[in-house]
Structure 1
């Protein structure tokens, strides 16, 4: 596969205005639960409005996922592209970069795909559920320091400051660090106990479509791997941007995926951050198990390909289109888009 970020050849996209057939959304994966034993509350619905009693007991839907889709008038792939975000984030990651450039949603629409962007269970427009009545624990909130110095690898330990002038990023960083506050606006709370609900919703989305290509980021990677295991006949490819986890090959047999190609893409500075030092070996085991099972797999180390400076936010870095082109080349090489 050609991973030259400066190459303008094979994977060009159509820059003409999009011809869109349909834009819409739906929720998938939810189920009704009944709550009881909760104390009544009083509520004012708006400023200077009436005070009225609220009974929090009764039925509600939980575990739903929000999905927005854009369908082209003449798609060049018969397989929709599903964009699944990472932990503490939402589908906005794929829509527009923090510095205002078009995101991967637009890139792959112009490449000829119908695109489905999700807000997973508990995120964005998927909504929340009561805790601890439904969600068993309190949410986690991502701090700027955790994002900057650890998960997203914008800078080394001790490099974050609330004062932009005092922040220090990794040398050659491709993330537009001047727009960190815009990126922080995208952070949402996440729960540590909802993997089952989230996986159920993702599986329900896959089951709703005849076929699809899954493209995941970070925490979304594990959901994508398991969704493909549960429906290998519906998934045409799995693309994983820096997955933070993967199935244990001692517990999951990769053999059903021998006909489902897998692409793994990794950025820079990984050896400088403990989260990634501890995460990558488990993902590598799954990659090696897939390869041993006969699956078409590719592990792309961008720095080894001469593409340096990429953070964990590959779809937001200033060379995000070049990374998207690597993905598109790989998809085209497998005959999944014309």
Structure 2
């Protein structure tokens, strides 16, 4: 079989996935941790534990120094680049950076789409998630973790109104775009979350902004608040903010004057009225957008059903029409002068 050159391979990818063909080469990739601090524990009892079947017990001393509250970031740099700034992708609650990666049905996700479109990509696992690692509870994290059930995700993410253990008995939203046959694979991504860690998570995101420098920030769900406040904390470095179904937003007030020069795009999917969580949450971002506009801010809200795009749930980047939504975002960035 003839082997494709990188340029031909990129061109084929562009045809298949509907993205620009200019980003042909992975110039650089890597990862790092950012933020965090050292914590020292003392006074806790020493125990013994067997770590490997058949092995002798090992002494376990929980006292000592630990690195905690850090964030993990993976980056991919294309060549050539079409974007003016790196694109930072921040995930939602109980999830990790895999949100943006290959979709549960095996199709390319937002990370691949925007990389192929020429954006340097920085995908993070926030504090307490994935490769960022955990800290001891209750010695360091003060509250117990929450674990999301599949029923909660199915219903709260507006994938369907009725969850059942047997997939054949689940009811999906009529016309819904989530690939329901891949839902159980999606559930493998769920990780615990802590309600007491917003402050340390914000500090880690702020540290990431300072490390990377001027950037476009894309946020989803819980990360919405972190993104808005990162812009408030570093309005000179957040060059644009793209919020996909953000959970919460800053309250109206004079602080928002610091955001008027930052282009913002807020996207909401379909069936909001069918889930009480989003009936409560959506008005925060809509009110934020209205107040920012009144102050002269550059903010656009796209409610997908109002522009003829229906069936999208909370996990828009995993839906079968995710490339269409990514294309809307890419067009918006081009209009704002963020791509070449």
Q: TM-score range by the shorter chain?
A: over 0.9
2:286 alignment partner in structure 1: 284
1:336 alignment partner in structure 2: 338
1:200 alignment partner in structure 2: 203
CA–CA separation in structure 2 for the residues paired with 1:28 and 1:235: 17
CA–CA separation in structure 1 for the residues paired with 2:79 and 2:51: 43
- Among 300, 303, 319, which residue is 1:301 paired with? 303
- Among 152, 155, 159, which residue is 1:154 paired with? 159
User: TM-score, normalised to structure 1's length?
Assistant: 0.93
Q: Deviations over 1:55-106 (max 9, x none)?
A: 1011101100000000123211230000000000000010110100011111
CA–CA separation in structure 2 for the residues paired with 1:34 and 1:333: 50
Are residue 85 (structure 1) and residue 91 (structure 2) matched? Answer: yes
Q: Deviations over 1:303-326 (max 9, x none)?
A: 010000000000000000000000
- Tell me how far 1:15 sits from its aligned partner: 4.1
**1:128-139 correspondence to structure 2 within 5 Å:** 128-139=134-145
Identify, as 1 or 2, the structure richer in helix. Answer: 2
Are residue 40 (structure 1) and residue 46 (structure 2) matched? Answer: yes
When the two chains are superposed, the root-mean-square deviation of aligned CA atoms in Å is 1.5
- Among 214, 218, 223, which residue is 2:217 paired with? 214
User: TM-score, normalised to structure 2's length?
Assistant: 0.93
Q: Deviations over 1:221-265 (max 9, x none)?
A: 100000011000011100000001111224x61111111011000
- Tell me how far 1:16 sits from its aligned partner: 7.0
Specify the SS of the correspondent of 1:335: coil
CA–CA separation in structure 1 for the residues paired with 2:149 and 2:24: 37
- Tell me how far 1:12 sits from its aligned partner: 5.8
In the alignment of these two chains, the number of paired residues is: 325
- Among 98, 123, 133, which residue is 1:127 paired with? 133
Q: Deviations over 1:8-35 (max 9, x none)?
A: 9xx9623477301111000001100111
2:271 alignment partner in structure 1: 269
Q: Deviations over 1:274-328 (max 9, x none)?
A: 0001111222221122112211100101001000000000000000000000000
**1:170-249 correspondence to structure 2 within 5 Å:** 170-249=173-252
- Tell me how far 1:41 sits from its aligned partner: 1.9
> Where does structure 2 lack aligned partners over 5 or more consecutive residues?
1-13
2:30 alignment partner in structure 1: 24
CA–CA separation in structure 1 for the residues paired with 2:272 and 2:302: 13
Report if aligned partners of 2:85, 2:216 keep a CA contact under 8 Å in 1: yes
